[in-house]
Amino acid sequence: MRMFQQQVPRCLTACLANTKIKTEIPSVLFGRLLQFPLAAIIPAIALLFVPGTSAWAGEQPKLVLQITVDALRGDLPDRFSSALGNGGFRYLMEQGIHYTNANYQHANTETIVGHVSLATGTVPAAHGMVGNVWFDRELGRIAYNIEDSRYHLLTAGADVDKKNEIDPTQRTAKSDGRSPDNILTSTLSDEMAIHFAGKSKIFAVSVKDRGAVSLAGHAGKAFWFSKASGEFVTSNYYYQQYPDWVNDWNARKPAQAYADKAWELTHESSKYLFGNADDREYETDFPGFGRTFPHAYGKADDKYFTTRLTLSPAGDELTLDFAKTLLDKEQLGQDEIPDFLAISFSSTDYVGHIFGASSLEIEDNLVRLDRTLADLFAYIDKKIGLANTLIALSADHGQPEVPGHLHDLGIDKAHYFDTKTLDKAPAISALKKQFGIGEELVKAFFFPYLYLNHEVIRAKGLDHSTVEQAVAAELMKFKGVAYAVSSMALRESNVPDTLLMRTILHNFHPKRSGDIYLVFEPNIFINDFDGLTVASTHGSPWRYDTFVPVIFAGVGLKPARVDRPVTPYDISATLAAYLKIKPPSGSIGIPLAEVLEK
């Protein structure tokens, strides 16, 4: 058997080298095929040799619907399935193709990184979005991932309210402008625009600006929710003025319908897995929202009113309402040219940060999201037909368990890490003395990157690589730090060839990555969001953060549950193959055989 496993890749290489099939497989994709276990690649390869089984011979879908559920860990839909209805997640899992073993292969599992990886089908080393923020050495400051001072919001007063914004990454932006310019490779939506000569209508909607901008790509239109104005907004990268239907939607002020109301449990508490666990001391007691049901939204003029909406299923419900209006007013899916609509639902991420993945709130949020999805699918079925719609659902990352919950289960090693100690620890102080540095050696830490003070290092005439490696070696001694990897080691690929190190390499971009990449041990987290203490934080290379669902549905796909390893990068490659267009420019994804079968 071992000899068979060793010989098949060689035979496969030889066979493909002598057929025209290889010309249809990009070299980067062919190389990745041979890295997979034999059982994982046979379905994809066999499909190429079986006539009449490929979607390439069929009709095009009228709409490609790409759904991203922010922080939907791969086990959550199954875990809470007993409380779900019939038209949402059940439709996807029972009538679609559900890949149950999908993991990202990059280390920094943050929102922008995952969204752009879904859009481009590649890793941050190629698409360039290495984190929600990074230190821009040319600007001399931390930069927000999609900020672009050349463009501005079309709505006055809709910029991030830095006094009341709880997302520290958004507060780093120095301009209200947003664009996809920092995304270095093409997206699936870009390739649709190119292939169909600009005739595909391409839109993306999300509560988060980075959720919408990433999936719309460079050629589409993006809308996101402004907590400052309570409206969906965009920048003049996309439009010079709003379409009338957007003005009409905003004029209705749908967000204000939640004023003086509350997020209440959908079912009796006995129907929930965590029905008896509503109040846990480790949950975040956000002002005016509380730790127990019902969670009050407050008055419309309360400074945290719209923030509370995003911390609940209301954020997803507003996103759905706007997306349905867009679908109708822009007449998506009404001709023979495939259109593209991406919807990123953000509430699961916010609820996870505040209450954790094992909470009554996350469970009821999934119940409400399930209803939101069912509403969306019923609307699309009425307007376009699910048989004419190709649906792909996944997540940008998973989410961890809260240390307090793990402690309740007897798992005592989980704890929070205080990053303020990084420059003040005795080991770092000793290094500063060794190098003759009296000022701060550590300039900044923005997860997962540590940035050294380049100016001080240069002024002292020190070798930057030597300082990097010395600091990394000392950081490895910190309790809770699993790895500290210098950028020089990554630039030279001078790291052990392990799965974890490959994920860090996949996250490395020479112009954007920090000086040292920190990986904390499993279940060790940072919980300080620049003053706001949260219950949990994702962003690690561990399986709880990389594990996400991948589900395809619609267009008459044969239901299946597939357990072999796949990656979320495969989604854009599969959609491209189904549409008979070329994949995004940096794509490393493998088209999934089950989706292409007829």
Catalytic site residues? 111
Cα–Cα distance for residue pair 135/589, rounded to 1 Å = 29
The total of other beta-carbon atoms located within 10 Å of residue 87's CB is 17
Cα–Cα distance for residue pair 279/217, rounded to 1 Å = 41
Cα–Cα distance for residue pair 165/478, rounded to 1 Å = 32
Per the CB < 8 A criterion, the answer to whether 539 and 527 are in contact is: no
Q: How many whole angstroms from its chain centre is CA 13? A: 34
Task: List the one residue out of 126, 276, 176 whose CA is nearest residue 583.
Answer: 126
Cα–Cα distance for residue pair 154/215, rounded to 1 Å = 20
Cα–Cα distance for residue pair 152/235, rounded to 1 Å = 5
Q: What is the DSSP letter of 178?
A: B
CA neighbours within 13 Å on the CB side: how many for 576? 32
Task: List the one residue out of 360, 362, 194 whose CA is nearest residue 292.
Answer: 360
Cα–Cα distance for residue pair 138/173, rounded to 1 Å = 15
Which amino acid appears at position 129 of this protein?
M
Q: What is the DSSP letter of 150?
A: T
> Rounded to the nearest 5 degrees, what angle is found at the Cα of 257, between the Cα atoms of 252 and 261?
170
Per the CB < 8 A criterion, the answer to whether 534 and 353 are in contact is: yes
Q: What is the DSSP letter of 258?
A: G
